[in-house]
Amino acid sequence: MLIVEDVTKNFGQFNALKNINLEFNNGVYGLLAPNGAGKTTLIKMLTTLLFPTSGSIRYDGEDIIKMDEKYREIIGYLPQEFGYYKNYSPTSYLLYLAALKGIHRKTAVARVEELLKTVALDHVANKKMKKFSGGMIQRVGIAQAMLNDPKILILDEPTAGLDPKERVRFRNLLTNLARDRIVILSTHIVSDVESIANEIIMIKNQEVLYKDTVSNICRKIDGRVYETEVSYEQTEQFRSTYLIFSEKQENGSMYMRFLTEDTSKPEWKMVHPNLEDVFLYIYQDGVLSDDQTA
């Protein structure tokens, strides 16, 4: 079990995270927050790349900093910006990282071959990576994170650059892996985690806002999400009155999905909220300010 206890992280005067308390057991955890909310800071602390200003992170009761290489031996990590050596082939790069992970050469050779098959890169196993697409590089990154068969798999924006087919395959892979390990998946793309995460962690104002199942989180705005048709003339006024989640043009009018505290009107159809609705609701300030900035 991985426990984050009262963790605060400051960078000089800037407070990136405060009093974070989390508990991870086997399963997939979706760390969901907009960019800049502190996801990467938390993840870097979970991988010992950053040290908490206060508080502690413990694995099976032992501080991960004190565990040192004993802890790092059981983690697999894919950073948001996955760097690689363009003149290396996936095989040679993975073998290099396997050496850093303390995997015996003979074991590593077989493991690399197996993983390259898993991420469908076996046909380019010995080709230099300089000609690889973003998606191919990301798959090398996923493979390296799994090299040591980690007990804790930490993935920061892992689906960036993957095409829809690869995303589906990746999600299935994670679901399989999560049966006997902790998988922490940080993303700002709701669909990445909605279907596979056992629990979602949402961070707002440097603190954990929710850590719950998708259905429980969605319940927070249950009974307040509607869909309706609005004529083009009324669109502007409708937008300024309600919190809009999505808009779609259909049959000469606008089809709106929105949230309101008002009493339901006959033309409104109440719908079950999804995770994206909650995400937009929670981070509406950020979304609005982002829009205004844009």
Partner 1 sequence: MIKQLEFKKIISSPVILGLFVLFLLFNCFLIYQQSSIRNDMKSLQPIVKETGTLMDEEGRNKLQTSYEKDLTNWNQLSKSKTGDTYQRAVDFYKPELYYSLIESNIYSEKELQNINKLAIKETYVSSIQEIETLYSNLNVMENAEEGIRLFGLKGAAAETVREHYTVLKPRVEELVQNKEHLHLFFHGKMFGTHSFLFKTLFGFMLFQAMILIVLFTAFIVNYEFEHKTSLVAYSTKRGRNLVWDKLLVSIFAGTLVTVTLLAITLFIYFMVFDYSGLWNVPISSGFLIELNNIPFISWWNVTFIQYLFMTCGLVVICQILFVLITFCLSMLIRNSYIVFTLFGVIFLAGLYIPSIMPKDSIMLLYTHFSPFILVMNVKKWWMESGVFTTFKYYEVMTVTGWLVALLLTAWFFIKRFARENI
List the one residue from 17, 38, 91, 101 that touches partner 1 (CB under 8 A). 101
Q: Which among 17-25, 70-78, 170-178, 241-249 is the span making contact with partner 1, rule CB under 8 A?
A: 70-78
Of the residues 7, 17, 75, 218, which one makes contact with partner 1 according to CB under 8 A: 75
The CB-of-224 to partner 1 minimum distance in angstroms stands at: 40
Among 148, 159, 206, 274, binds partner 1 (CB under 8 A): 148
CB of 175 to partner 1, least distance (A): 24
Q: Are 113 and 122 in contact (CB under 8 A)?
A: yes
Q: Which of 263, 259, 264 is nearest to 282 (CA)?
A: 259
Report, in Å, the least distance between residue 71 CB and partner 1: 9
At residue 280, the 3 state secondary structure works out as helix
Least Å from the CB of residue 263 to partner 1? 51
100 vs 168 by CB, closer to partner 1: 100
List, in sequence order, every residue forming a beta bridge with 243; answer none if it has no partner. 259
Task: Give the CA distances from residue 56 to residues 7, 19, 46, 65, in Å, rounded to whole numbers and listed in that order.
Answer: 6, 10, 10, 9
Binding status of residue 7 toward partner 1 by CB under 8 A: no
By CB under 8 A, tell whether 69 contacts partner 1: yes
- φ and ψ at residue 185, rounded to 5 degrees: -120, 115
The region of 92-100, 112-120, 167-175, 220-228 touching partner 1 under the rule CB under 8 A is 92-100
How far apart (Å, rounded) are the C-alpha atoms in residues 21 and 189?
23
Per CB under 8 A, 144 contacts partner 1: yes
Candidate list 12, 13, 61, 83; residue touching partner 1; CB under 8 A: 83
Q: Are 281 and 221 in contact (CB under 8 A)?
A: yes
Using CB under 8 A, which of 1, 100, 271, 288 touches partner 1?
A: 100
Q: Shortest gap between Cβ of 80 and partner 1 (angstroms)?
A: 8
Q: Which of residues 244-273 bind partner 1 (CB under 8 A)?
A: none
Q: In what order do the strands lie in the sheet with 199-204?
A: 75-78, 152-156, 182-187, 27-32, 199-204, 207-212
Burial class (CB in 10 A: 0-12, 13-18, 19+), 112: buried
β-sheet bridge partners, residue 250? 253
Q: Would the CA dihedral through 276, 279, 285, 290 be positive or negative? A: negative
Q: What letter represents residue 225's amino acid?
A: V
**Residue 110 CB, nearest approach to partner 1 (Å):** 16
Told to check if 36 binds partner 1 by CB under 8 A, we report no
Instruction: Indicate the DSSP class of residue 263.
Output: P
Residue ranges in 104-143 that form contacts with partner 1 under rule CB under 8 A: 105, 141
What φ, ψ does residue 149 adopt, rounded to 5°?
Answer: 50, 65
Q: Which residues bind partner 1 (CB under 8 A)?
A: 11, 44, 47-51, 68-69, 72-73, 75, 77-79, 81-85, 87, 96-97, 99-102, 105, 141, 144, 148
